[in-house]
Amino acid sequence: MKTSPLTAEAIESAMTAYLTERTKTEVKPDDDIFASGLVSSMFAMELVVHLESTYDIAIIGPELKIDNFRTAKVMAALVLRLSEDGVASDA
């Protein structure tokens, strides 16, 4: 059974809520969580596992670069790119 398709907006808002809760700081979709010192490298690992289990994706090899995890917005793009259920853009 298929759930409603993933959208960038839905992932973004879920991720900003998750980041806000985990860092106990208000996080906006464009905030660079690594530049601001909000998260430790330890949390980076949690983040990878959270994205993989929540959206049923595998983030491997070159996709693990830190630039794919800097903001809720780029994480949403990563999830859509790796997810079969995602609404693909025209690219």
Give least dist CB 10 to another protein, A: 25
The pair of structure tokens assigned to 46 is 């949690």
Selection from 55, 56, 82, 54 nearest residue 68 by Cα:
82
CB closer to another protein, 14 vs 44: 44
Please measure the distance between the N-terminal and C-terminal CA atoms of the chain and give it in whole angstroms.
Answer: 27
Q: Where are the alpha helices (DSSP H) in the chain?
A: 8-23, 41-55, 72-82
14 binds another protein (CB under 8 A): no
Identify which of residues 7 and 40 has a Cβ nearer to another protein in the complex.
40
Residues in 16-75 that interact with another protein by CB under 8 A = 23-25, 37-45, 48, 61-62, 64-66, 69
Size of the site for another protein (CB under 8 A): 19
Binding site residues, another protein, CB under 8 A? 23-25, 37-45, 48, 61-62, 64-66, 69
